[in-house]
A and B are shown apart, each in its own frame.
Chain A
Amino acid sequence: MGTGNSRHKLAALAACALSGSLLAGTALAAGPAASAASASAASQETTLRVKMSGSGVDTLNPFLAFFDGAYDVFAAIYPTLNSLDETGKPGPYLADSWTQSDDKLTWTFKIRDGLKWSDGTPLTAEDAAWTLNLITTDAVAGTANGSLVSNFESVTAPDATTLVIKTKEPQANVTYVSVPRSGIPIVPKHIWESQAEHLKDYKNDTFPVVGYGPWTLTDYKPEQYAKFDANKDFILGKPGFDHMVQQSFKSVDAAVAALRSGQLDYINGVNPTQFKALQADKSLLTIQEVGNGWTGLEINYNARTRTGKKIGTGHPALGDPVLRHAIALATDRQTLVNKVRDGLAVVGAGYLPPAWPQWVWKPAPGEETPFDLDQANKILDDAGYTKGGDGVRVDPKSGKPLELRLGIHSDDTDDAGISNYLKGWLETIGVKLKIQTLSMSALNSDLAKGDWDLLMDGWTTGPDPTFLLGIQTCAALPKDDGTAGNTDSFFCDKDYDELFKKQLTTFDLDERAKTVGEMQSILYKADVNQMHFNANHLDVVRTDTVTGVIIGQPDAQGMYPAQSYAFWGYLKATPATAKVTAAKEESGGSALWIGGAVLLVVLVGGGIALKRRSGADDRE
């Protein structure tokens, strides 16, 4: 008997063990959509649930943060002097107007009166002056944003509604210095003043965080979520939701699953495969934004220091414009767009991305570099690059075969796709590629030392192009000892540098854009930074839970303005009326299936138990 009992216990245990996880899961699962719906129905309060930026939050201290996720949070909870419109042009925010002096060295911002921080303390020009001064004068405070104020001579607040910024040299982009996400957030002086001495150790994690913006940060858990309450008195408009949650997803696939199952309302940034798959889902709106970045090929332009000292191990032939142009001719950008991005990108040409139309430049008709393998072969033949027995050409000056290293990012599928196409195309013109898959950090290390030939690269930029243009100047080259410098390709051109200085001090937007266009023309003709494409930014929204999160109207090609600065989208989003009904229906369906699953488990478990019992009896 005893044996029989133990058998029965074991059999029951077996059934439980085999189905334990499933049982636990189904028993516990009330269904994610159901829980969200009940919470919203019970309290009648609405929550906008979005995916946190992929890079996440490194720190909540705005003086030290570098990651995009942190700047998304800062844009929500801290004010800036200016806002940005759909096309990236500065508009009013804390400042409702601004003027320049005749000598262009003094900017006067009129700060709105009557604003208050979330703890009730008045928000004045003094807060802005203190923040900007601290970054200007304190090295630690300038860790993240020091470059934006490096030309500031002084910042003062003569009264509560006047902010005066004096610059050392005329500076055209002062209205971009403090804008949501890409600029400097203004912090409350009365909170931060006591932290200034030990800024490096201040985590800014006392909730709710005192700030002023469309939202107030009420909770944050690293790698999990950030929770916000709406600021119903926000000067630029009342948020359409009562709360907002930015949830961290380490894999976009998981975020897509969360969106499809109703746990998220909006994802800013999916890949082409996910985008195309989601287009069939009628409960989702899939939209393409014009891209705010580029993907392209960097060519090691004879790496050297500022004094001209040669460094690194780059192939010497890459200094020859003929070889660089041949590589450009041998690159079929349209095929890369079609095959690598599934058609969801714009063929690249100009250095600045289409998200900011004021800076867009395209080569004049007849100046475009076509895909022409014959022409590429011809110019190489003409320049004396003869093919060896193995089909690889030889540099006539150094005698070295054209065997080039191509560094690609190990975590970037676009790089992997592009490199395979490039390898084939370049082989047909007698250039052999050796693909090196490296981490971003290793690529950066090689880049700085000049230990590379070709690199896949990509940049995104905010609406002010100064930094991105700056990394192509001679001043970005490293010093002789290898330190400093943030060059991207060791490009150095005197005409380009002159234009760079000129655009910095050109206050007329059209005139500045013209100068920036000339700079892009120089880069295009140099073939050092070869733009492959500007990937469209791909977003997905649940239409049954949220509306209005996408800002602007699509153009003739169906492309929306850049949404990556989600400041306006999160502010203007409102709950869709169908939400509660849909969620209730889904909840009912879930309950039904949970019941079915539990029943199935019980039946299977019981069956196993009976089978074991019968087997035990037979053996006994």
Chain B
Amino acid sequence: MSSLTAAGLAKAKGQGVKRSDLLPYLGSKLAAALVSFMVTLVIGFVLFSLMPADPVRTLTRGRPTSEAQLVQIRLQLGLDDPIWQRFLTFVGNTLKGELGYSWQFQQSVSSLVLDRLGPTLLLTGTATVLSIALGLWLGIRSGWRHGSLFDRIASGTSLMLWSVPTFWLGMILLVAFSVGIGPIPSLLPAGGMSDPSLPQEGWAHVVDVAKHLVLPSLTMVLVVFAQYVTVMRTSIIDEMGSPYLLTARAKGLTDDAVRRRHAVPNALLPSVTMIFMHLGILVSGAITVESVYSWPGLGYLTYEALRIPDLPLLQGTFIVFSASVIIMNLLADVVYRFLDPRVRAQ
């Protein structure tokens, strides 16, 4: 009786330890994320403020501007305020959820970011999902039969495409599918997110956007999917000599089942890390692809901010990008805990 009670207590105590472990784990990760965010805030402000730049002169380059105008614009932009005051305003605004006011677009940074968030996520999200699906599938197959013709073709092709400059590949695809080469006619639009001469709502618009999405997302997929192929292939190869696979085969499982049920789940962890890393940078868009295909995304917005430089816009996008990466890393830590028992045990 007493032993049962002791065992029962121990069991209860053990479960209690597991539950109470999760909260400190989450707490510590959350605290670390907050500290990271605050540090990036400071770094972002300092870095951008140190940039050698004359935003007023660059902004007004296209118009006749008098001395009085230049003074007025500097005043409006707050460029004559001491740096500590600008820093406090920046931190205060950020904590209130305000991202400031763009100098060049004369509107709030948050509205600019929100305007471009949808197109960005549509492009990078589509490309990421396709890259993950294609990359993991090819990686698993290549790793499982490494050295085979399939492996050599898949690995070689993906690595070659990974080495190709994105801008160049984009231009080639643009010429091939939009302009057409030789007997191949123009199949897809050259740029933009939609055809302005068509209605901007309804199914026709959805189809139109899908047409415009094909080339930019295809470019991104072709350049990115090799990472998944390489990581997944390497992980699978690492797992192939493991005794548990021998055991699984000894139990009579088919080759396919051994791969799917045993090898892949264990080989998936490095890819999960990479997926979350990519999810973190989804919102930062893809400057080169957006430039080639005139896609109205956040990546190109950041480039435009850098040209002036439009400090509030730069800082605003920097905050959004940083927060996104930090949140995704935090999620990756949490998901890891569920996927990998070793993390729970630590």
Residues of chain B within 8 A of A441, CB atoms compared: 51-55, 58, 307-309
Known: A36-B195, A224-B192, A483-B71. A66 touches B174 (CB 8 A): no
Contact (Cβ within 8 A) B217 A142: no
- Residue from A6, A224, A594 within 8 A of B194 (CB atoms): A224
Which chain B residues (203-261) contact chain A, with CB distance < 8 Å? 207-208, 210-211, 214-215, 217-218, 221, 254-257
Residues of chain A within 8 A of B174, CB atoms compared: 253-254, 257
- Residue from A35, A59, A254 within 8 A of B293 (CB atoms): A254
B115 at interface by CB-CB < 8 Å: yes
1/0 contact string of B180-196 vs chain A (CB within 8 Å): 10011111111111111
- Residue from A35, A143, A249 within 8 A of B195 (CB atoms): A35
A124 at interface by CB-CB < 8 Å: no
B15 at interface by CB-CB < 8 Å: no
Contact (Cβ within 8 A) A147 B69: yes
Which chain A residues (35-90) contact chain B, with CB distance < 8 Å? 35-36, 39, 47, 49, 55, 58-59, 61, 64, 66-68
Residue with the greatest number of chain B CB neighbours at <10 A, chosen from A66, A203, A440: A66
Which chain B residues (303-317) contact chain A, with CB distance < 8 Å? 306-309
Contact (Cβ within 8 A) A47 B187: no
A120 at interface by CB-CB < 8 Å: no
Residues of chain B within 8 A of A485, CB atoms compared: 67
Contact (Cβ within 8 A) B192 A247: yes
A484 at interface by CB-CB < 8 Å: yes
Residue of B nearest to A459 (CB): B61
Taken together as a complex, chains A and B put the C-alpha atoms of A64 and B308 apart, in Å, by 16
Residues of chain B within 8 A of A144, CB atoms compared: 63
The minimal Cβ–Cβ distance linking A335 to chain B, given in whole angstroms, is 28
Residue with the greatest number of chain A CB neighbours at <10 A, chosen from B61, B70, B190, B306: B190
Residues of chain B within 8 A of A143, CB atoms compared: 69, 72-73, 76
Of B22-30, B92-100, B103-111, B267-275, the one with at least 4 CB within 8 A of chain A: B103-111
Residues of chain A within 8 A of B185, CB atoms compared: 31, 586, 589-590, 593
The minimal Cβ–Cβ distance linking A613 to chain B, given in whole angstroms, is 13
Number of interface residues of B (CB under 8 A): 84
Taken together as a complex, chains A and B put the C-alpha atoms of A92 and B301 apart, in Å, by 40
- Residue from A24, A49, A224 within 8 A of B296 (CB atoms): A224
Taken together as a complex, chains A and B put the C-alpha atoms of A442 and B57 apart, in Å, by 10
Residue of A nearest to B206 (CB): A28
B5 at interface by CB-CB < 8 Å: no
1/0 contact string of A457-492 vs chain B (CB within 8 Å): 000000000110010000100000001111000000
Residues of chain B within 8 A of A67, CB atoms compared: 62, 104
Known: A263-B189, A442-B52. A486 touches B57 (CB 8 A): yes
Contact (Cβ within 8 A) B186 A590: yes
Residues of chain A within 8 A of B184, CB atoms compared: 593
Residue of B nearest to A20 (CB): B130
Residues of chain B within 8 A of A32, CB atoms compared: 178, 186, 188-190, 195
A329 at interface by CB-CB < 8 Å: no
The minimal Cβ–Cβ distance linking B156 to chain A, given in whole angstroms, is 15
B291 at interface by CB-CB < 8 Å: yes
Of A215-223, A268-276, A415-423, A537-545, the one with at least 4 CB within 8 A of chain B: A215-223
Taken together as a complex, chains A and B put the C-alpha atoms of A36 and B62 apart, in Å, by 34
Chain B at the A interface: SS class = helix
Taken together as a complex, chains A and B put the C-alpha atoms of A6 and B296 apart, in Å, by 41
Residues of chain A within 8 A of B68, CB atoms compared: 142, 146-147, 150
B66 at interface by CB-CB < 8 Å: yes
Contact (Cβ within 8 A) A258 B178: yes
A448 at interface by CB-CB < 8 Å: yes
A200 at interface by CB-CB < 8 Å: yes
A245 at interface by CB-CB < 8 Å: yes
Contact (Cβ within 8 A) A250 B300: yes
The minimal Cβ–Cβ distance linking A204 to chain B, given in whole angstroms, is 10
B324 at interface by CB-CB < 8 Å: no
Number of interface residues of A (CB under 8 A): 91
Contact (Cβ within 8 A) A147 B189: no
A236 at interface by CB-CB < 8 Å: no
Residue with the greatest number of chain A CB neighbours at <10 A, chosen from B67, B171, B221, B300: B67
Taken together as a complex, chains A and B put the C-alpha atoms of A476 and B291 apart, in Å, by 37
A225 at interface by CB-CB < 8 Å: yes
Taken together as a complex, chains A and B put the C-alpha atoms of A594 and B187 apart, in Å, by 8
Known: A39-B198, A67-B62. A254 touches B300 (CB 8 A): no
A17 at interface by CB-CB < 8 Å: yes
Contact (Cβ within 8 A) B214 A29: yes
B200 at interface by CB-CB < 8 Å: yes
Residues of chain A within 8 A of B210, CB atoms compared: 24, 28
A97 at interface by CB-CB < 8 Å: no
The minimal Cβ–Cβ distance linking A590 to chain B, given in whole angstroms, is 5
Contact (Cβ within 8 A) B175 A219: no
Taken together as a complex, chains A and B put the C-alpha atoms of A445 and B66 apart, in Å, by 18
The minimal Cβ–Cβ distance linking A232 to chain B, given in whole angstroms, is 19
- Residue from B65, B200, B292, B307 within 8 A of A486 (CB atoms): B65
- Residue from A49, A254, A589 within 8 A of B191 (CB atoms): A254
Contact (Cβ within 8 A) B190 A263: yes
A340 at interface by CB-CB < 8 Å: no
A439 at interface by CB-CB < 8 Å: yes
Taken together as a complex, chains A and B put the C-alpha atoms of A520 and B105 apart, in Å, by 36
Residues of chain A within 8 A of B327, CB atoms compared: none
The chain B residues found within 8 Å of chain A, CB to CB, are 51-55, 57-74, 76, 104-107, 112, 115-116, 130, 133-134, 137, 171, 174-175, 177-180, 183-198, 200, 207-208, 210-211, 214-215, 217-218, 221, 254-257, 290-294, 296, 300-301, 306-309
Known contacts A64-B106, A221-B200, A227-B196, then 6 further A-B pairs from the complex at CB < 8 Å, ordered by chain A residue: A7-B256, A17-B133, A144-B63, A147-B64, A200-B106, A444-B57
